[in-house]
Chain A
Protein backbone atom coordinates (compact mmCIF):
# COMPACT_ATOMS: atom_id res chain seq x y z
CA UNK A 1 0.00 0.00 0.00
CA UNK A 2 2.79 2.40 0.84
CA UNK A 3 6.40 2.39 -0.23
CA UNK A 4 7.54 1.23 3.17
CA UNK A 5 10.33 -1.15 4.07
CA UNK A 6 10.16 -4.22 1.91
CA UNK A 7 10.66 -6.60 4.78
CA UNK A 8 9.53 -6.48 8.35
CA UNK A 9 10.80 -8.31 11.37
CA UNK A 10 8.64 -10.96 12.88
CA UNK A 11 10.70 -11.97 15.89
CA UNK A 12 13.76 -10.94 17.93
CA UNK A 13 15.67 -13.40 20.03
CA UNK A 14 18.84 -13.50 22.10
CA UNK A 15 20.70 -16.44 20.61
CA UNK A 16 23.86 -16.00 22.67
CA UNK A 17 25.43 -13.42 24.95
CA UNK A 18 26.64 -11.50 21.87
CA UNK A 19 24.37 -12.96 19.22
CA UNK A 20 21.03 -11.47 18.14
CA UNK A 21 18.74 -13.67 16.08
CA UNK A 22 16.14 -12.06 13.82
CA UNK A 23 13.29 -13.75 12.02
CA UNK A 24 11.95 -11.90 8.98
CA UNK A 25 8.43 -11.95 7.61
CA UNK A 26 9.57 -13.95 4.58
CA UNK A 27 11.00 -16.67 6.78
CA UNK A 28 14.65 -15.63 6.41
CA UNK A 29 16.61 -15.88 9.66
CA UNK A 30 19.66 -13.73 10.31
CA UNK A 31 22.26 -13.41 13.05
CA UNK A 32 24.03 -10.29 14.26
CA UNK A 33 27.15 -9.98 16.33
CA UNK A 34 26.27 -7.33 18.89
CA UNK A 35 29.58 -5.42 18.73
CA UNK A 36 29.47 -5.30 14.92
CA UNK A 37 25.93 -4.03 15.12
CA UNK A 38 26.97 -1.33 17.59
CA UNK A 39 29.78 -0.32 15.22
CA UNK A 40 27.27 0.00 12.38
CA UNK A 41 25.20 2.53 14.33
CA UNK A 42 23.70 4.94 11.77
CA UNK A 43 23.00 7.84 14.14
CA UNK A 44 24.26 11.38 13.53
CA UNK A 45 26.96 11.16 16.18
CA UNK A 46 28.37 7.95 14.70
CA UNK A 47 27.99 8.77 10.98
CA UNK A 48 28.52 12.26 9.57
CA UNK A 49 25.15 13.47 8.30
CA UNK A 50 26.45 15.14 5.16
CA UNK A 51 29.47 13.17 4.11
CA UNK A 52 28.40 9.75 5.35
CA UNK A 53 31.85 9.37 6.90
CA UNK A 54 32.06 7.28 10.04
CA UNK A 55 32.78 9.44 13.09
CA UNK A 56 32.68 6.56 15.52
CA UNK A 57 36.07 4.90 15.91
CA UNK A 58 35.25 1.22 15.49
CA UNK A 59 38.18 0.33 17.75
CA UNK A 60 36.53 2.21 20.59
CA UNK A 61 33.69 -0.31 20.65
CA UNK A 62 34.50 -3.23 22.91
CA UNK A 63 33.75 -6.76 21.78
CA UNK A 64 31.64 -7.13 24.89
CA UNK A 65 29.10 -4.46 23.96
CA UNK A 66 25.58 -5.81 23.91
CA UNK A 67 22.07 -4.41 23.91
CA UNK A 68 20.37 -3.67 27.19
CA UNK A 69 17.01 -3.24 25.52
CA UNK A 70 15.63 -3.23 21.98
CA UNK A 71 12.37 -1.53 21.08
CA UNK A 72 10.40 -0.98 17.89
CA UNK A 73 10.07 2.43 16.24
CA UNK A 74 6.93 2.63 14.15
CA UNK A 75 6.82 -0.21 11.67
CA UNK A 76 10.17 0.42 10.14
CA UNK A 77 13.02 0.42 12.62
CA UNK A 78 14.44 -0.75 15.94
CA UNK A 79 16.05 1.37 18.60
CA UNK A 80 18.91 -0.25 20.48
CA UNK A 81 19.86 0.78 23.98
CA UNK A 82 23.46 -0.38 24.19
CA UNK A 83 25.44 -1.36 27.25
CA UNK A 84 27.87 1.52 26.52
CA UNK A 85 24.88 3.84 27.11
CA UNK A 86 24.56 4.80 23.47
CA UNK A 87 20.91 4.83 22.37
CA UNK A 88 20.42 7.33 19.55
CA UNK A 89 20.67 4.94 16.63
CA UNK A 90 17.53 3.96 14.74
CA UNK A 91 18.25 0.80 12.80
CA UNK A 92 15.77 0.63 9.93
CA UNK A 93 14.60 -2.78 8.84
CA UNK A 94 16.27 -2.07 5.49
CA UNK A 95 19.60 -1.48 7.22
CA UNK A 96 19.25 -4.55 9.43
CA UNK A 97 18.36 -6.64 6.44
CA UNK A 98 21.63 -5.61 4.78
CA UNK A 99 23.79 -6.19 7.87
CA UNK A 100 22.68 -9.66 8.92
CA UNK A 101 24.41 -12.96 8.39
CA UNK A 102 21.91 -15.47 7.04
CA UNK A 103 21.54 -18.46 9.31
CA UNK A 104 23.02 -21.51 7.63
CA UNK A 105 20.39 -24.17 7.19
CA UNK A 106 20.72 -26.77 9.91
CA UNK A 107 22.97 -29.65 8.89
CA UNK A 108 21.38 -33.00 9.22
CA UNK A 109 23.86 -35.70 10.14
CA UNK A 110 21.83 -38.82 10.33
Chain B
Protein backbone atom coordinates (compact mmCIF):
# COMPACT_ATOMS: atom_id res chain seq x y z
CA UNK B 1 0.00 0.00 0.00
CA UNK B 2 1.21 3.39 -0.91
CA UNK B 3 1.70 5.41 2.23
CA UNK B 4 0.93 9.03 2.17
CA UNK B 5 -0.48 11.59 4.56
CA UNK B 6 -4.02 11.08 3.35
CA UNK B 7 -4.40 7.36 3.75
CA UNK B 8 -2.59 7.49 7.09
CA UNK B 9 -4.94 10.15 8.34
CA UNK B 10 -7.89 8.21 6.96
CA UNK B 11 -6.79 5.16 8.93
CA UNK B 12 -6.72 7.18 12.12
CA UNK B 13 -9.88 9.13 11.47
CA UNK B 14 -12.13 7.11 13.76
CA UNK B 15 -9.88 7.24 16.83
CA UNK B 16 -11.05 9.36 19.69
CA UNK B 17 -9.32 10.83 22.67
CA UNK B 18 -10.23 8.93 25.86
CA UNK B 19 -13.13 10.41 27.80
CA UNK B 20 -14.19 12.66 24.93
CA UNK B 21 -15.97 12.57 21.59
CA UNK B 22 -13.01 14.36 20.04
CA UNK B 23 -11.40 12.65 17.12
CA UNK B 24 -7.63 12.99 17.01
CA UNK B 25 -8.06 15.15 13.97
CA UNK B 26 -10.85 17.44 15.17
CA UNK B 27 -9.15 17.78 18.53
CA UNK B 28 -5.91 18.76 16.82
CA UNK B 29 -4.30 16.04 18.90
CA UNK B 30 -2.22 14.90 15.95
CA UNK B 31 -0.15 18.00 15.59
CA UNK B 32 2.04 16.71 12.81
CA UNK B 33 2.30 13.57 10.74
CA UNK B 34 5.19 12.74 8.45
CA UNK B 35 6.11 9.83 6.26
CA UNK B 36 9.63 9.02 5.29
CA UNK B 37 10.10 5.76 3.37
CA UNK B 38 8.71 3.14 5.74
CA UNK B 39 8.81 5.32 8.80
CA UNK B 40 5.94 7.32 10.15
CA UNK B 41 6.52 10.14 12.57
CA UNK B 42 3.57 11.49 14.54
CA UNK B 43 3.70 14.43 16.86
CA UNK B 44 0.95 14.49 19.50
CA UNK B 45 -0.29 17.45 21.38
CA UNK B 46 -2.08 16.09 24.41
CA UNK B 47 -5.04 18.10 25.72
CA UNK B 48 -4.99 16.49 29.17
CA UNK B 49 -2.04 15.70 31.44
CA UNK B 50 -2.80 12.04 32.23
CA UNK B 51 -0.19 9.60 30.84
CA UNK B 52 -2.66 6.68 30.82
CA UNK B 53 -4.80 8.50 28.24
CA UNK B 54 -1.73 9.26 26.13
CA UNK B 55 -0.63 5.64 26.29
CA UNK B 56 -3.99 4.32 25.15
CA UNK B 57 -3.99 6.68 22.16
CA UNK B 58 -0.47 5.68 21.19
CA UNK B 59 -1.36 1.99 21.38
CA UNK B 60 -4.52 2.50 19.32
CA UNK B 61 -2.58 4.48 16.70
CA UNK B 62 0.10 1.80 16.48
CA UNK B 63 -2.54 -0.87 16.07
CA UNK B 64 -4.34 1.02 13.30
CA UNK B 65 -1.13 1.73 11.46
CA UNK B 66 -0.02 -1.88 11.71
CA UNK B 67 -3.29 -2.86 10.04
CA UNK B 68 -2.29 -0.86 6.99
CA UNK B 69 1.22 -2.18 7.03
CA UNK B 70 3.14 0.45 8.95
CA UNK B 71 5.45 -1.16 11.45
CA UNK B 72 7.82 1.66 12.17
CA UNK B 73 6.13 4.46 14.02
CA UNK B 74 7.87 7.15 15.99
CA UNK B 75 6.10 9.41 18.42
CA UNK B 76 6.87 12.83 19.73
CA UNK B 77 4.60 14.29 22.33
CA UNK B 78 3.93 17.30 24.41
CA UNK B 79 1.12 18.30 26.74
CA UNK B 80 -0.71 21.47 25.84
CA UNK B 81 -3.85 21.94 27.92
CA UNK B 82 -6.31 23.93 25.80
CA UNK B 83 -7.67 27.12 27.31
CA UNK B 84 -11.34 27.69 27.83
CA UNK B 85 -12.29 30.71 25.72
CA UNK B 86 -12.13 33.73 27.98
CA UNK B 87 -15.19 35.83 28.49
CA UNK B 88 -13.17 38.76 27.24
CA UNK B 89 -9.61 39.99 27.26
CA UNK B 90 -10.47 41.86 30.42
CA UNK B 91 -11.15 38.62 32.27
CA UNK B 92 -10.36 38.66 35.96
CA UNK B 93 -8.07 35.68 35.63
CA UNK B 94 -6.22 36.07 32.35
CA UNK B 95 -3.47 33.47 32.91
CA UNK B 96 -5.80 30.69 34.02
CA UNK B 97 -6.78 28.28 31.27
CA UNK B 98 -9.61 26.40 33.00
CA UNK B 99 -11.61 27.15 36.13
CA UNK B 100 -13.40 24.29 37.83
CA UNK B 101 -15.93 25.00 40.58
CA UNK B 102 -16.52 22.20 43.06
CA UNK B 103 -19.93 22.56 44.64
CA UNK B 104 -22.37 20.71 46.82
CA UNK B 105 -25.97 21.40 47.65
CA UNK B 106 -25.37 20.82 51.34
CA UNK B 107 -22.43 20.76 53.74
CA UNK B 108 -20.73 17.69 55.10
CA UNK B 109 -20.50 15.71 51.89
CA UNK B 110 -16.73 16.01 51.60
CA UNK B 111 -16.60 18.74 49.01
CA UNK B 112 -13.36 20.24 50.30
CA UNK B 113 -11.73 16.81 50.50
CA UNK B 114 -12.70 16.13 46.90
CA UNK B 115 -11.48 19.60 45.83
CA UNK B 116 -8.07 19.18 47.46
CA UNK B 117 -7.56 15.69 46.09
CA UNK B 118 -8.83 16.67 42.65
CA UNK B 119 -6.34 19.55 42.53
CA UNK B 120 -3.52 17.31 43.71
CA UNK B 121 -4.40 14.60 41.17
CA UNK B 122 -4.21 17.11 38.34
CA UNK B 123 -0.91 18.43 39.68
CA UNK B 124 0.52 14.93 40.08
CA UNK B 125 -0.23 14.33 36.42
CA UNK B 126 1.98 17.30 35.62
CA UNK B 127 -0.45 20.19 35.22
CA UNK B 128 0.05 23.54 36.90
CA UNK B 129 -2.78 23.86 39.35
CA UNK B 130 -4.20 26.43 41.72
CA UNK B 131 -6.69 25.83 44.48
CA UNK B 132 -8.91 28.58 45.78
CA UNK B 133 -10.67 27.92 49.02
CA UNK B 134 -13.71 30.11 48.54
CA UNK B 135 -15.58 28.50 51.39
CA UNK B 136 -15.98 31.86 53.09
CA UNK B 137 -17.93 30.35 55.96
CA UNK B 138 -15.55 27.57 56.90
CA UNK B 139 -12.27 27.62 55.05
CA UNK B 140 -10.28 24.49 55.79
CA UNK B 141 -7.85 24.05 52.94
CA UNK B 142 -4.84 25.28 54.86
CA UNK B 143 -5.26 22.49 57.34
CA UNK B 144 -5.99 19.86 54.71
CA UNK B 145 -2.85 20.65 52.78
CA UNK B 146 -0.72 21.27 55.82
CA UNK B 147 -0.06 24.86 54.81
CA UNK B 148 -0.04 27.25 57.71
CA UNK B 149 1.95 30.13 56.25
CA UNK B 150 0.45 33.46 55.36
CA UNK B 151 0.41 34.67 51.79
CA UNK B 152 2.82 37.48 51.02
CA UNK B 153 1.94 40.66 49.20
CA UNK B 154 3.37 41.29 45.75
CA UNK B 155 2.35 44.91 45.99
CA UNK B 156 -0.17 46.94 47.93
CA UNK B 157 -3.13 44.86 46.96
CA UNK B 158 -1.90 41.71 45.25
CA UNK B 159 -1.61 38.49 47.24
CA UNK B 160 0.78 35.73 46.27
CA UNK B 161 -0.70 32.25 46.79
CA UNK B 162 1.10 29.81 49.05
CA UNK B 163 2.86 26.83 47.55
CA UNK B 164 1.30 23.74 49.11
CA UNK B 165 2.46 20.33 47.88
CA UNK B 166 3.04 21.61 44.40
CA UNK B 167 -0.17 23.55 43.98
CA UNK B 168 -0.81 27.24 44.49
CA UNK B 169 -3.20 27.70 47.33
CA UNK B 170 -5.22 30.66 48.45
CA UNK B 171 -7.66 30.41 51.32
CA UNK B 172 -9.83 32.69 53.36
CA UNK B 173 -8.28 31.03 56.37
CA UNK B 174 -4.95 32.69 55.53
CA UNK B 175 -6.58 36.01 56.12
CA UNK B 176 -8.83 35.15 59.02
CA UNK B 177 -7.14 32.23 60.78
CA UNK B 178 -8.34 28.61 60.77
CA UNK B 179 -10.45 28.79 63.91
CA UNK B 180 -11.93 32.25 63.60
CA UNK B 181 -15.42 31.87 62.24
CA UNK B 182 -15.95 34.09 59.26
CA UNK B 183 -19.23 35.89 59.52
CA UNK B 184 -20.13 37.80 56.41
CA UNK B 185 -23.18 39.52 55.12
CA UNK B 186 -24.13 39.21 51.48
CA UNK B 187 -22.48 42.37 50.14
CA UNK B 188 -19.31 41.62 52.09
CA UNK B 189 -19.19 38.16 50.60
CA UNK B 190 -19.52 39.67 47.17
CA UNK B 191 -16.69 42.14 47.79
CA UNK B 192 -14.50 39.48 49.32
CA UNK B 193 -14.94 37.08 46.45
CA UNK B 194 -14.32 39.81 43.93
CA UNK B 195 -11.13 40.70 45.72
CA UNK B 196 -10.15 37.07 45.87
CA UNK B 197 -10.56 36.72 42.15
CA UNK B 198 -8.98 39.98 41.13
CA UNK B 199 -6.17 40.45 43.60
CA UNK B 200 -4.46 37.10 43.74
CA UNK B 201 -1.41 36.63 41.54
CA UNK B 202 -2.23 33.13 40.31
CA UNK B 203 0.16 33.38 37.41
CA UNK B 204 -0.21 30.88 34.57
CA UNK B 205 -2.33 27.89 35.51
CA UNK B 206 -3.73 24.97 33.53
CA UNK B 207 -6.45 24.50 36.12
CA UNK B 208 -7.82 26.53 38.97
CA UNK B 209 -10.03 24.51 41.29
CA UNK B 210 -12.45 26.61 43.31
CA UNK B 211 -13.85 25.04 46.44
CA UNK B 212 -17.25 26.73 46.72
CA UNK B 213 -19.04 27.17 50.01
CA UNK B 214 -21.80 24.56 50.44
CA UNK B 215 -25.27 25.50 49.32
CA UNK B 216 -26.72 27.66 46.61
CA UNK B 217 -26.76 31.13 48.15
CA UNK B 218 -25.15 34.49 47.68
CA UNK B 219 -21.53 33.46 47.68
CA UNK B 220 -22.04 30.69 45.15
CA UNK B 221 -24.02 32.87 42.82
CA UNK B 222 -21.48 35.68 43.03
CA UNK B 223 -18.66 33.35 42.19
CA UNK B 224 -20.43 31.72 39.31
CA UNK B 225 -21.14 35.13 37.87
CA UNK B 226 -17.79 36.83 38.48
CA UNK B 227 -15.40 34.03 37.64
CA UNK B 228 -15.43 32.84 34.05
CA UNK B 229 -16.04 29.24 35.12
CA UNK B 230 -15.26 26.55 32.59
CA UNK B 231 -17.27 23.88 34.35
CA UNK B 232 -18.51 22.59 37.65
CA UNK B 233 -18.40 19.37 39.61
CA UNK B 234 -21.17 18.54 42.07
CA UNK B 235 -20.32 16.43 45.09
CA UNK B 236 -23.01 14.45 46.83
CA UNK B 237 -23.40 11.49 49.16
CA UNK B 238 -25.75 8.61 48.36
CA UNK B 239 -28.54 9.74 50.70
CA UNK B 240 -31.68 11.11 49.19
CA UNK B 241 -31.49 14.32 51.24
CA UNK B 242 -28.09 15.05 49.80
CA UNK B 243 -29.24 14.23 46.29
CA UNK B 244 -32.12 16.68 46.48
CA UNK B 245 -29.63 19.41 47.28
CA UNK B 246 -27.30 18.26 44.54
CA UNK B 247 -30.13 18.88 42.10
CA UNK B 248 -30.44 22.42 43.41
CA UNK B 249 -26.74 22.95 42.78
CA UNK B 250 -27.17 21.67 39.29
CA UNK B 251 -30.03 24.07 38.60
CA UNK B 252 -27.97 27.00 39.83
CA UNK B 253 -25.22 26.21 37.34
CA UNK B 254 -27.72 25.69 34.57
CA UNK B 255 -29.21 29.10 35.24
CA UNK B 256 -25.88 30.83 34.96
CA UNK B 257 -24.99 28.59 32.01
CA UNK B 258 -21.96 26.95 33.53
CA UNK B 259 -21.57 23.45 32.11
CA UNK B 260 -21.91 20.77 34.78
CA UNK B 261 -19.07 18.32 34.19
CA UNK B 262 -20.71 15.74 36.37
CA UNK B 263 -21.62 14.31 39.74
CA UNK B 264 -19.26 12.69 42.23
CA UNK B 265 -20.73 10.33 44.79
CA UNK B 266 -18.62 10.59 47.92
CA UNK B 267 -18.74 8.22 50.92
CA UNK B 268 -20.17 5.72 48.51
CA UNK B 269 -19.30 2.51 50.35
CA UNK B 270 -16.95 1.22 53.02
CA UNK B 271 -14.47 -1.59 52.62
CA UNK B 272 -13.62 -3.20 55.94
CA UNK B 273 -9.84 -3.26 56.01
CA UNK B 274 -9.94 -6.50 58.02
CA UNK B 275 -12.36 -8.64 56.07
CA UNK B 276 -12.40 -6.77 52.77
CA UNK B 277 -16.20 -6.79 52.90
CA UNK B 278 -17.98 -3.93 51.24
CA UNK B 279 -20.70 -2.15 53.20
CA UNK B 280 -22.92 0.48 51.63
CA UNK B 281 -23.50 2.60 54.67
CA UNK B 282 -25.68 5.28 53.11
CA UNK B 283 -27.09 3.16 50.34
CA UNK B 284 -25.40 3.29 46.99
CA UNK B 285 -25.90 4.37 43.44
CA UNK B 286 -27.97 7.48 44.16
CA UNK B 287 -25.33 9.70 42.57
CA UNK B 288 -25.41 7.74 39.35
CA UNK B 289 -29.20 7.67 39.35
CA UNK B 290 -29.38 11.41 39.88
CA UNK B 291 -26.84 12.03 37.13
CA UNK B 292 -28.79 9.79 34.77
CA UNK B 293 -32.07 11.47 35.65
CA UNK B 294 -30.64 14.91 34.96
CA UNK B 295 -28.64 13.67 31.97
CA UNK B 296 -25.29 14.84 33.21
CA UNK B 297 -22.21 12.62 33.38
CA UNK B 298 -21.51 10.51 36.44
CA UNK B 299 -17.85 11.03 37.29
CA UNK B 300 -17.36 8.30 39.84
CA UNK B 301 -17.80 7.12 43.38
CA UNK B 302 -15.31 7.59 46.16
CA UNK B 303 -15.38 5.01 48.98
CA UNK B 304 -15.27 5.89 52.64
CA UNK B 305 -11.75 5.34 53.86
CA UNK B 306 -10.57 6.34 57.33
CA UNK B 307 -7.31 7.28 55.66
CA UNK B 308 -9.10 9.98 53.66
CA UNK B 309 -10.18 11.67 56.87
CA UNK B 310 -6.77 11.14 58.47
CA UNK B 311 -5.13 12.60 55.38
CA UNK B 312 -7.33 15.65 55.66
CA UNK B 313 -6.50 16.16 59.30
CA UNK B 314 -2.75 15.78 59.11
CA UNK B 315 -2.29 17.78 55.93
CA UNK B 316 -1.47 14.87 53.62
CA UNK B 317 -4.47 14.20 51.35
CA UNK B 318 -5.13 10.63 50.29
CA UNK B 319 -3.87 10.95 46.71
CA UNK B 320 -0.45 11.76 48.14
CA UNK B 321 -0.65 9.72 51.31
CA UNK B 322 -1.65 6.50 49.61
CA UNK B 323 -2.05 6.99 45.85
CA UNK B 324 -2.83 3.30 45.28
CA UNK B 325 -5.75 3.17 47.71
CA UNK B 326 -9.21 2.72 46.15
CA UNK B 327 -10.26 6.22 47.26
CA UNK B 328 -7.18 7.87 45.73
CA UNK B 329 -7.54 5.90 42.52
CA UNK B 330 -11.23 6.85 42.32
CA UNK B 331 -10.37 10.54 42.64
CA UNK B 332 -7.57 10.28 40.08
CA UNK B 333 -10.04 8.75 37.63
CA UNK B 334 -12.47 11.59 38.32
CA UNK B 335 -9.69 14.12 37.69
CA UNK B 336 -8.92 12.42 34.41
CA UNK B 337 -12.56 12.58 33.32
CA UNK B 338 -12.82 16.21 34.37
CA UNK B 339 -9.73 17.20 32.40
CA UNK B 340 -10.99 15.29 29.35
CA UNK B 341 -14.33 17.06 29.45
CA UNK B 342 -12.71 20.44 29.90
CA UNK B 343 -10.46 19.77 26.92
CA UNK B 344 -13.47 18.81 24.86
CA UNK B 345 -15.36 21.95 25.86
CA UNK B 346 -12.37 24.18 25.16
CA UNK B 347 -11.67 22.65 21.77
CA UNK B 348 -15.31 22.61 20.73
CA UNK B 349 -15.81 26.24 21.64
CA UNK B 350 -12.80 27.45 19.70
CA UNK B 351 -15.35 28.22 17.03
CA UNK B 352 -17.40 30.33 19.43
CA UNK B 353 -14.35 32.42 20.24
CA UNK B 354 -14.41 33.48 16.61
CA UNK B 355 -17.72 35.27 17.16
CA UNK B 356 -16.06 38.66 17.35
CA UNK B 357 -17.26 41.37 15.07
CA UNK B 358 -15.98 44.92 14.75
CA UNK B 359 -18.80 46.69 12.97
CA UNK B 360 -16.87 49.36 11.13
CA UNK B 361 -14.12 47.09 9.90
CA UNK B 362 -16.66 45.47 7.65
CB–CB B359/A72 < 8 A: no
Q: Is A86 engaged at the interface, CB distance under 8 Å to the other chain?
A: no
Measured between beta carbons, the chain B residues less than 8 angstroms from A12 are: 355-357
Per-position contact with B for A63-107: 1 when CB-CB < 8 Å, else 0? 000111111111111110000000000001000000000000000
Q: Is B351 engaged at the interface, CB distance under 8 Å to the other chain?
A: yes
Q: Is B260 engaged at the interface, CB distance under 8 Å to the other chain?
A: yes
Q: Is A54 engaged at the interface, CB distance under 8 Å to the other chain?
A: no
Q: Is B56 engaged at the interface, CB distance under 8 Å to the other chain?
A: no
Per-position contact with A for B336-362: 1 when CB-CB < 8 Å, else 0? 000001000100010111011111101
CB–CB A78/B359 < 8 A: no
Q: Is B228 engaged at the interface, CB distance under 8 Å to the other chain?
A: yes
Distance (whole angstroms) from the CB of A64 to the closest CB of chain B: 12
Q: Is B300 engaged at the interface, CB distance under 8 Å to the other chain?
A: no
Distance (whole angstroms) from the CB of A81 to the closest CB of chain B: 9
CB–CB B87/A73 < 8 A: yes
Interchain CA distance A67-B358 in the complex, whole Å: 8
Distance (whole angstroms) from the CB of A78 to the closest CB of chain B: 7
Q: Is A3 engaged at the interface, CB distance under 8 Å to the other chain?
A: yes
Residue in A2, A66, A67 whose CB lies within 8 Å of B259: A2
Number of A-B residue pairs having CB atoms within 8 Å of each other in the complex: 67
Measured between beta carbons, the chain B residues less than 8 angstroms from A79 are: 88
CB–CB B355/A72 < 8 A: yes
CB–CB B296/A10 < 8 A: no
Q: Is A61 engaged at the interface, CB distance under 8 Å to the other chain?
A: no
A71 touching B356 in the complex, CB below 8 Å, given contacts A10-B351, A79-B88: yes
CB–CB B257/A70 < 8 A: no
Of the candidates A1, A9, A13, A70, the one having the most CB atoms from chain B within 10 angstroms of its own CB is A1
Per-position contact with B for A35-76: 1 when CB-CB < 8 Å, else 0? 000000000000000000000000000000011111111111
Distance (whole angstroms) from the CB of A1 to the closest CB of chain B: 7
Measured between beta carbons, the chain A residues less than 8 angstroms from B357 are: 12-14, 67, 69-70
Measured between beta carbons, the chain A residues less than 8 angstroms from B95 are: none
A72 touching B257 in the complex, CB below 8 Å, given contacts A1-B297, A14-B362: no
Per-position contact with A for B311-354: 1 when CB-CB < 8 Å, else 0? 00000000000000000000000000000010001000101110
Interchain CA distance A3-B356 in the complex, whole Å: 24
Per-position contact with A for B257-270: 1 when CB-CB < 8 Å, else 0? 10110000000000
Q: Is B85 engaged at the interface, CB distance under 8 Å to the other chain?
A: yes
A4 touching B358 in the complex, CB below 8 Å, given contacts A10-B351, A75-B349: no
Interchain CA distance A11-B353 in the complex, whole Å: 11
Measured CB to CB, the nearest residue on chain A to B359 is A67
Chain B residues close to A by CB (< 8 Å): 85, 87-88, 228, 254, 257, 259-260, 295-297, 341, 345, 349, 351-353, 355-360, 362
Extra contacts besides A12-B356, A71-B88, A77-B257 (7): CB < 8 Å:
A2-B259, A4-B259, A14-B359, A68-B358, A69-B359, A72-B85, A72-B352
